Amino acid sequence: MGVTMDPDIPVFLPRPNNVTFHRGDTALLPCAIENVGTKTIIWRRASDPNPLTIGQLVYVNDDRYSIHSVPQRKEWNLLIRNVQQADGGVYECQISSRYKLIHHILLRVNTIFMSGTKFVEKGDSIHLICNASGQNYPPEDLDWFKDGVKITADGIRQITVDKFRVQSTKTLVSVLDKKYSDMGDAGTYVCRSSNMGVTSMKVHVLNAGSTNGLQLSVTMGLTLVQGKGYNRPTPCGLLACSPFPSAKPAAAAAACTGTSRHDSTTTC
């Protein structure tokens, strides 16, 4: 004999089982259910028998938690504002019924961040900072990579890597400096912590001396004549007030063919 399923039994719809957010984000843990009917949705941490929410009501003394329901999509999502590393772990979306219906979802909180120079002119320094935090103590170490290749301090190539710990915030900070950048320094830089947190940033190296950049500056700018506002475009004034900060004074002078450099005084 075949087994007939009750068409009114709630069923979990496909949703991700793993979600990752950065510390400070509003984390959304998805849970979608068909045939909810009059049943109640309960959210809890798998490690804690006490509920976080029952229906729309929050049962913990923490206003960061709320329910985001989307009836047309049959969703009962758990929201956690200002998510922290301590919030990471396994959560349960449970349906109150005689059937044991539970959907597990793993929340990961990424606690590694990178900031620094995204755009740099050729010859200038690249300066990147990586911050990684641990739950009980700072990570043991941070490693740098560029396009998949590990970066280490190199006096010949003018690369320095400095690290220091901030015990009060359980943070390890690493500072990568590359002096006198060249076009080969452009690429994707990755910072990876010993607790396997990973973040990345794409760095662009601009060639200020290229003729293409010079022509683009001349074509797109407007001359700003002191005391007269915007005037007609002229190569000298355009380069001096180019929207591209890479335009060098020497390049501007070289572009002034048949026009005195003192014909228009520019103020940028």
Residue range 193-249, pLDDT digits in tens = 987 788 999 999 999 765 454 343 333 333 333 333 333 333 333 333 333 344 444
Residue partners of 76: CB distance under 8 A and separation at least 6: 31, 32, 33, 36, 41, 67, 69, 93
- Could you tell me the pLDDT band of residue 257, with boundaries at 50, 70 and 90? very low
Cα gap 167→138, rounded to integer Å:
7
pTM to 2 decimals?
Answer: 0.57
Closest CA to 199 of 112, 83, 109, 116: 112
Structural domains in the chain, CATH included, are 11-110 (2.60.40.10), 112-206 (2.60.40.10)
CA atoms 75, 80, 82, 83: torsion sign: negative
Residue 37 pLDDT > 90: no
Residue range 71-97, pLDDT digits in tens = 888 999 999 999 988 899 999 999 987
Cα gap 251→149, rounded to integer Å:
36
Residue range 105-147, pLDDT digits in tens = 999 888 899 999 999 999 999 999 999 988 778 889 999 999 9
- Find the distance separating the first CA and the last CA of the chain, reported in whole Å: 86
Residue range 151-197, pLDDT digits in tens = 999 988 899 999 999 888 889 999 999 999 999 999 999 999 987 78
Position 7 scores a pLDDT of 63
Both tokens assigned to 108 = 């990961």
Is 43:33 a contact under the CB 8 Å cutoff?
no
Distances (CA, A) of 5 to 9, 68, 74, 155, 221: 8, 30, 20, 71, 71
Residue range 61-73, pLDDT digits in tens = 999 999 998 888 8
- Could you tell me the pLDDT band of residue 265, with boundaries at 50, 70 and 90? very low
- Could you tell me the pLDDT band of residue 45, with boundaries at 50, 70 and 90? very high
